[in-house]
Amino acid sequence: MPSSKSARTIAFVAGNKAKDKMLQDPAFIYRCENPALALEAQGHDVTLIHLHDLARSAKRFDIVIFHRPHIRDWRTRWHMRRVIRRLKKRRSFLIADFDDLVFSPEFAQFSPGYVNGLVSLKQTQKNFAAHQKTLHHFDAFTLSTQPLLEAMQQQVKNANAHLLPNSPHVSWQRQHAEINAAHPNEFIIKYLPGTRSHDRDFAQVYAPLAMFLNQHPNAKLKITGVIDEQRIRECIECNPTQLIFEPKRPFSEYAHVVNDGHVHIAPLEHSVFNDCKSALKAIEAGFYQRPIIATPIPDMLRLEHAGVILANSDKDWLKALERCFKSKNAFDYRFLINDIYNADQHARDLLSIAHAS
């Protein structure tokens, strides 16, 4: 490989079914678009591309990062084999990036999709096996959390695996830096479920939320995202006006959603899968100087000094909510969040991984 300081040609490859929606996928946005913007600012030639389009591209790349690579069906297998063969012939450095525990069927039983009854175990095992089939093609692996890194090292013998955590999105630094003041006469608790697979996670905090809302009539729970509203209203007994539901918003509007309220919450059911998840909700909340109360998964522990309040029981959750209610002040977490890890560091780490090999 040429010097890590010289300009490189770099591709970030999506493999989702609907290729026209790849830039709407939050996982691809954080794991690929974010470092891509930083790499461009550093003077590199960067392309965001779908696997099917890469199969038809004649461009040579020094480094190619595949986000959650898989071989799901015959068409994807054909495209993947064709692409990998050409890239290896041109001596491209190939990286597989994973931000969830999806690269072996042995993990399927812990998948939120299966646990929440959205996908069968057999289908989940098939989906995870589709990722596993690609692993032998890659020169290196990048993982978003330490537990994921350890899982990959167990899965691939002598894996060239590296921890590259998530970080605040570059566009927020450039376009949405202003911090909105929370409403002084209300206390807003924010919850942002991205998918339907969080029902069991949120059920962990029904009791402390109901108790807190009943004790504080000016407090409200605002949920923006995909969740069973009827079930929430049945399980959290409080004044109906204290529960506010909003539909999921596109990422282009997401900064305005995060930049709201007094405190964010991130409850998770304890599981092998959830222990591997990223503290992305803490990164988002901290960027806008909001504290977050969260289940103590390993990546949340990494950010404990940057606005994360850990809660492991109903008593912990209620105590943390009361603590935030009494302060209601802005917290200066943005510097800490950016200093822990940012898109520029992500970009430099990718270059260093390729250069070292």
122-140, pLDDT tens digit by residue? Answer: 999 999 999 999 999 999 9
Q: Do the domains at 9-99+134-167+341-356 and 171-338 have one common CATH topology?
A: yes
Decide: helix, strand or coil at residue 40: helix
% of the chain at pLDDT higher than 70: 98
What pLDDT digit, counting tens, does each position of 276-330 carry?
A: 999 999 999 999 999 999 999 999 999 999 999 999 999 999 999 999 999 866 6
Helix locations, the chain, DSSP H: 26-28, 34-41, 51-54, 74-89, 112-115, 121-132, 146-155, 170-175, 199-203, 206-215, 229-235, 251-258, 272-275, 280-287, 298-302, 314-327, 334-340, 343-356
For residue 5, is pLDDT > 70?
no
Q: Measuring CA to CA, how many Å separate 137 from each of 34, 95, 152?
A: 24, 9, 14
- Of 110-119, 191-200, 342-351, the poorest mean pLDDT is in 191-200
Instruction: Check residues 182 and 10 and name the one with the higher pLDDT.
Output: 10
Summarize the confidence of residues 149-158 as an average pLDDT.
95
Does residue 3 have a pLDDT over 50? Answer: no
Which CB contacts under 8 angstroms, 24+ apart, belong to 302-311? 302/146, 302/165, 302/340, 303/279, 303/337, 303/340, 305/336, 306/282, 306/333, 306/336, 306/337, 306/340, 307/282, 307/331, 307/333, 307/336, 307/337, 308/279, 308/282, 311/267
171-338, CATH topology level: Rossmann fold (3.40.50)
pLDDT tens, position by position, 239-282: 999 999 999 998 888 899 999 899 999 999 999 999 999 999 99
Question: Where does 9-99+134-167+341-356 sit in CATH, by number?
Answer: 3.40.50.2000
| CA gap 217, 221 in Å, rounded | 11
Q: Which pLDDT score, from 0 to 100, does residue 1 have?
A: 45
Domain boundaries, the chain: 9-99+134-167+341-356, 171-338
